[in-house]
Amino acid sequence: MVEHETALALIQLGAVFFGLGLLGRVAARIGMSPIPLYLIGGLVFGTGGLIELDHVDEFIHLASEIGVVLLLLLLGLEYTANELVTGMRKSWLAGVLDIVLNATPGVVVALLLKWGLTGAVAMAGVTYISSSGIVAKVLGDLGRLGNRETPTILSILVFEDLVMAGYLPVLTAVLAGVGFAAGVKTLGIALAAVTVVLVVALRYGKYVSMIVDSEDREIFLLKLLGSALLVAGVASALQVSAAVGAFLLGIAISDSTAHTATKILEPLRDLFAALFFVLFGLSTDPTSIPPVLGWAVVLAVATVATKVATGWWAAKRAGASTYGRARAGTALVARGEFSIVIAGLAVTTGAVPPEFAALATTYVLLMAVLGPIAARVVEPILVVVSRLRSSKRSGTRSTLETSGADGVTGQSQAVTES
């Protein structure tokens, strides 16, 4: 019996991995992020889907937790402590505007749906944070990494990632139903941890790197992955959030060690993160999506506008042209992995209604598709609009010149007749 269940589990898991590979290839062919397709794959094989996976639930659940840890660890590895501090100084005003404009729609919709404070805090995070993975890929694909507005975009993303270090502990406390004092304590621990890590990374980053570094790739991988899981586990025990712990560890690792760690961990991150998105899809009943589809569209329209406004304003302050402002705004539109991380935390605790997962899934599906499309088409649209305006001005000028010429001719005729 045990052997039979093991065989079924291997078959189901193999089918999941192979199916994800096919979905990833389709996404690459059409030039979009694979996240929406992974979510759809989870919907197909989850509760209420076409086929339910009965024998791999526990493995996928644990693998998805590792996926979240690796997502945040590699995000931390992308930044040095100096970059984070500089980014905060440069972009704090745009960052505050970003929070106000993009968290508010999520709060409003959650309150209208009567999900209470817990649902409002969770949905605020879902609608607030852009997908740094999708944004980075779009900027690279479109050849915009050297553009004048790109540092502004990256500064806003850095600010958002640091906000997550404070937001996730607060969300964890709210979901756990702890009191106000306990929530403030959790936030205090998180902020203290961020401060300590930044100081350590600035002054003693090379020593942290030495602890995990090794010339042997196998030993390096074991030490790095072990450190990440240990730190994430301790952070989770302190109710600071495992994701934040992994992010802070990534910041503390610097220089060539961080670069090597990124190269080694990227395939593992992609594998486990894919399972995380599948798990979220598995936990969402497809039949619960139609009732919230209208709200998802409302949120999508509202937050496309608010993200474009955020990027436009920030790029304008940086001296970017009209085209640069538009590119900055549309580049920030996409939501993805971190919105699902936040929604996953909320759904796992059972502190939000089932409709929450459906709304978050539908919203992220829409935004992960709309974001890259908006970034690609905004410049051609502006070119067309600019040409139409130029032709209209030319037409108006020609009309005025013709009218003026007719007037002069008429006056000359009148003088001649007189």
The pair of three-digit structure tokens given for residue 179, joined into one six-digit string: 């009191």
Q: What is the pLDDT of residue 2?
A: 63
Q: Which residue has the tokens 């503390």?
A: 252
Domain count, the chain: 1
What are 106's two structure tokens?
């999520």
Task: Specify whether the CB–CB gap between 336 and 131 falls below 8 A.
Answer: yes
Each residue's pLDDT expressed in tens, for the chain with a length of 418 residues: 567 778 888 888 888 888 889 988 988 888 777 888 888 888 877 665 566 666 677 788 788 888 888 888 887 887 777 777 776 777 789 999 999 999 999 999 999 999 998 999 999 999 999 988 788 778 877 888 788 888 888 889 888 888 887 888 888 888 877 665 666 777 777 777 777 777 777 777 778 888 888 889 999 999 999 999 998 888 777 766 777 788 888 888 877 888 899 899 989 888 888 888 887 777 777 888 899 999 999 999 999 999 999 999 999 988 889 999 999 999 999 998 889 889 888 888 888 888 898 999 899 989 988 888 899 899 899 888 888 888 777 666 666 556 555 554 554 444 444 4
The Cα–Cα gap between 322 and 340 comes to: 32
Q: 180 and 208 in contact (C-beta within 8 Å)? A: no
Specify the pLDDT at position 4. 73
Residue-level pLDDT at 416: 46
Q: Are 98 and 159 in contact (CB under 8 A)?
A: yes
Query: 309-332, pLDDT tens digit by residue?
Result: 999 999 998 888 999 999 999 999
Tell me, yes or no, whether 396 lies in a domain. Answer: no
pLDDT of residue 397: 60
Which pair of tokens denotes residue 105? 């729609």
Q: What is the pLDDT of residue 414?
A: 44
The label of the residue with tokens 């936990």 reads 283
Is 409 a domain residue? no
- CA-angle at 178, arms to 175 and 183, nearest 5°: 90
Contact 134, 336 (CB under 8 A): yes
pLDDT at 301: 96
Q: Which domain holds residue 73?
A: 1-390
Query: Is 177 inside a domain boundary?
Result: yes
pLDDT in tens, 13-23: 888 888 889 98
Q: What is the CATH number of the domain that holds 378?
A: 1.20.1530.20
What is 329-366 written as a DSSP string? HHHT----HHHHHHHHHHHHHT-S-HHHHHHHHHHHHH
Mean pLDDT of the chain: 82
401 in a structural domain: no
Cα separation, 134 vs 35, in Å, equals 9
How far is 124 from 13, CA to CA, in rounded Å?
A: 34
The answer to whether the beta carbons of residues 175 and 118 sit under 8 Å apart is yes
Residue 412 covered by a domain: no
